[in-house]
Amino acid sequence: MLHRHAVTLIAALLLSSISPQVFAQVRVAVVDMQRALNETEDGRRAKAQLKRLFKRRQQALDKAQNELKKMKEDIEKQRDVLSQKALQSRLEQYQKVFVELQTTYVEYQRELAQKEAKLTKGILERMAGILQRMGQRDGYTLIVERNEGGVMWVPSNLDVTDELIQRYNKGEGRSGGGRR
């Protein structure tokens, strides 16, 4: 976070030291990549696929958590009638199941993150290519990610997100389809 602010400060200082003639030639645009990802057809499909996977994993976790809760309740109910050895054995079993549940949770989180990266990698690469062509075509010096680098506000005419979404959905940058 501090690194982003430092980069933004350095960029602002560099821009402030540029002469007005050069500054007039600098064209900057912003893009909201998260919004673009969420609003493209491929992005929506990826999000739906992730949501289905998350739901399946969450159901499995909920089931295991309910079994763990029942196990704990049973131990509490039988605490006074079990021998010390039997109670210790049940508590160890409970602890083992608890650790397994935590491990499964971490594995599911990692799996979801990997799946999201896999599903969005191609989309983001294609978007980057479209943005590069937009920048070259429209003479932008810089296209900045709206949610990075301390961008607090920008006039709507400098936001190229809608155009990116439209060009992506029309097939630009796709192998064998759309404009290149």
Confidence of residue 175 (pLDDT cuts 50, 70, 90): confident
Give the C-alpha distances (Å, rounded to integers) separating 24 from 37, 56, 151, 156, 170. 32, 54, 20, 19, 33
Cα–Cα distance measured from residue 31 to residue 170, given in angstroms and rounded to the nearest whole number = 18
Q: Does the structure show a pLDDT above 70 at 11? A: no
CA dihedral 144, 145, 148, 152 (to 10 degrees): 70
**31-53 tens-digit pLDDT:** 999 999 999 999 999 999 999 99
**93-141 tens-digit pLDDT:** 999 999 999 999 999 999 999 999 999 999 999 999 999 999 999 999 9
Domain ranges of the chain: 2-169
What 3-state class would DSSP assign to 58? helix
Question: Which two structure tokens, joined as six digits, stand for 101?
Answer: 């549940």
Phi, psi (deg, nearest 5) at residue 170: -80, -10
Question: Which two structure tokens, joined as six digits, stand for 70?
Answer: 């029942």
pLDDT for 17 equals 62
**59-104 tens-digit pLDDT:** 999 999 999 999 999 999 998 998 999 999 999 999 999 999 999 9
By CB atoms closer than 10 A (0-12, 13-18, 19+), residue 171 is middle
**20-35 tens-digit pLDDT:** 555 557 889 999 999 9
Question: Which two structure tokens, joined as six digits, stand for 114?
Answer: 């990997």
